[in-house]
């Protein structure tokens, strides 16, 4: 059975998701697993976990592009290992790769390594660009919004409002509230997290 998996990172990429679904249906995928979640947030990729649980011997997991499936070479190899243990294979339409063959497995590993290398280079260039802009005084980074609410945090703390309630009321994180309060441990030890 051909089983399709489609993913986009954000809700705004609806057209991209629909395109993936069309492409997967066109090659004959009988079942589709679709989700809109970042590849980094592997815990939230419930549909990927479902497809890996469902897939059986002889099945083929089909994706349109490699980056729709795995976030790193290590993650790719973990997915491939699960598929191999179940007697299934992986097909990536955009690359013409099918891991049912030894050549397909080799090509996928090489391309995954290159993709991870490219991402590393891109992040390195981004960090260099930010450092250069900071040195020239053109890049300040994200504005520290929680620090602007220091007065309000202290005022609410003074009247006995709990840190969690302060965070909700001011629209900042609890960690920011504690940071502003100057303590890493809560003065309200019995408060539920």
Query: Would you name the residues annotated as active-site residues?
Result: 9
Angstrom CA distances, 166 to 90, 177, 190, stand at: 49, 7, 16
Backbone angles phi, psi at 6, to 5 degrees: -125, 140
Residues 6+ apart with CB under 8 A from 172: 145, 146, 149
Q: Which residues of 92-120 are buried (b: 16+ CB within 10 A; e: fewer)?
A: bbeeebbbeeeebbebbeebbeebbeeee
Please name every residue paired with 61 in a beta bridge, in sequence order, or none if there are none.
3, 90
One-character DSSP codes across 71-107: SSHHHHHHHHHHHHHTT-EEEEGGGTEETTSHHHHHH
Residues 6+ apart with CB under 8 A from 144: none
Nearest to 61 by CA among 35, 92, 40, 39: 92
């Amino acid at each position: 059975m051909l089983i399709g998996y489609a993913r986009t990172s954000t809700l705004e990429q609806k057209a991209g998701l629909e395109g993936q679904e069309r492409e997967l249906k066109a090659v004959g995928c009988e079942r589709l697993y679709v989700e809109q979640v970042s590849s980094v947030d592997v815990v939230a990729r419930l549909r990927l976990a479902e497809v890996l649980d469902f897939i059986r011997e002889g099945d083929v997991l089909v994706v349109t592009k490699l980056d729709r499936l795995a976030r790193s070479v290590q993650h790719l190899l973990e997915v491939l290992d699960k598929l191999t243990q179940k007697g299934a294979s992986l097909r990536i339409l955009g690359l013409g790769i099918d891991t049912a063959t030894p050549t397909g497995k080799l090509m996928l590993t090489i391309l995954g390594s290159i993709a991870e290398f490219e991402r590393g280079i891109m992040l390195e260039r981004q960090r260099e660009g930010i450092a250069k802009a900071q040195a020239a005084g053109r890049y300040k980074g994200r504005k520290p919004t929680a620090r602007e609410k220091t007065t309000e945090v202290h005022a609410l703390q003074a009247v006995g409002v709990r840190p969690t309630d302060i965070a909700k009321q001011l629209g900042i994180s609890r960690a920011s509230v504690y940071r502003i309060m100057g303590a890493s441990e809560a003065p309200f030890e019995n408060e539920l997290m």
